Amino acid sequence: MLKTKHLKSLLILWIFIMQGCIFTETLMGKKYSPINRCRDAWCWHKDRAKREKLIKLAEMKRGIHKKREPLQLRLRYFNGEISSGKSRLQNQSIAVHWKNWGLGQTQSDYQSEGLYGIGYSSITQTHDLLYTFGNDFNFTLGLSFANSGKSKIKFLEHEYLSEKVSGNGMLLGTGIKWGLLEFLIRKSKFEYIYSDFKREGSVDLGKDLKIKSETLSFGLGLSF
């Protein structure tokens, strides 16, 4: 009877010791596991950043680059001409646009012959303020302000010159984008007045020269 009690006690003690060993081994396995499992947020973020860096490095070696955002920069050039009888006017214009707004400069070359062989000519420069909306298919509105110019009136052997100009104009255009290129068309309406015509010897002509024009211009542009 006594031996049976001792055997039961030894059996219970052996079971307790084995459970303790298994529990200890489990804890040791979790603590010193050869597999490093990232469970906290900082470790996960660091591991992800490392993976992204390796992916970028691999893409650079393979020649793969991410698509760059467009600069929204446009360069435009226009040329237009209108003639009627003995009168001719030619416009040349350049403009730089960033996003929606643009600045440009236009030069108008005007020549005409009136009654009694009187010749009129002028070269006028304007500053243009432009606004464009739309991308692949776009519209442009603008205002033009006379900046400087020279005009000449010639009658027989006499020439009267003026560099005093004032006036403004309006611009309306549209364009279609194809890759980097833009195909453009624009209508411009100008009105200039030259005054204070003088001849050598400070002889004042006493009359002004008024120039009105409506011109259709075609242009090309580059869009980045």
> Which of 210, 211, 217 has its CA nearest to residue 106?
217
d(CA 2, CA 8): 10
State both tokens at 100. 């929606």
Name the DSSP class of 135: S
d(CA 93, CA 73): 17
> What is the CATH number assigned to the segment(s) 73-223?
2.40.160.20
pLDDT band, residue 206 (cuts 50/70/90): confident
Locate tokens 């991410």: which residue?
A: 66
Over residues 8-15, the mean pLDDT reads 62
Q: What is the pLDDT of residues 98-128, one digit of tens each?
A: 999 999 999 999 999 988 889 999 999 999 9
Whole-model pTM above 0.75? Answer: no
Backbone angles phi, psi at 77, to 5 degrees: -135, 135
Q: Kindly tell me the burial class for residue 208, based on how many C-beta atoms sit within 10 Å of its own C-beta (0-12, 13-18, 19 or more).
A: middle
State both tokens at 130. 């432009």
Q: What is the pLDDT of residues 137-158, one digit of tens each?
A: 999 999 999 999 999 999 888 8
Residue with the larger pLDDT of the pair 56 and 5: 56
pLDDT > 90: what percent of the chain?
56
The whole-number pLDDT of residue 12 equals 63
CB neighbours of 184 closer than 8 A, spacing ≥ 6? 76, 78, 173, 174, 175, 218, 219, 220, 221
Name the DSSP class of 117: G
The whole-number pLDDT of residue 188 equals 95
Cβ atoms < 10 Å from Cβ of 220:
14
In 3-state terms, what secondary structure has residue 78? strand
Say if CB 125 and CB 158 are below 8 A apart: no
Mean pLDDT score across all residues of the chain: 82
CA distances from 27 to 2, 21, 36 (A): 38, 10, 15
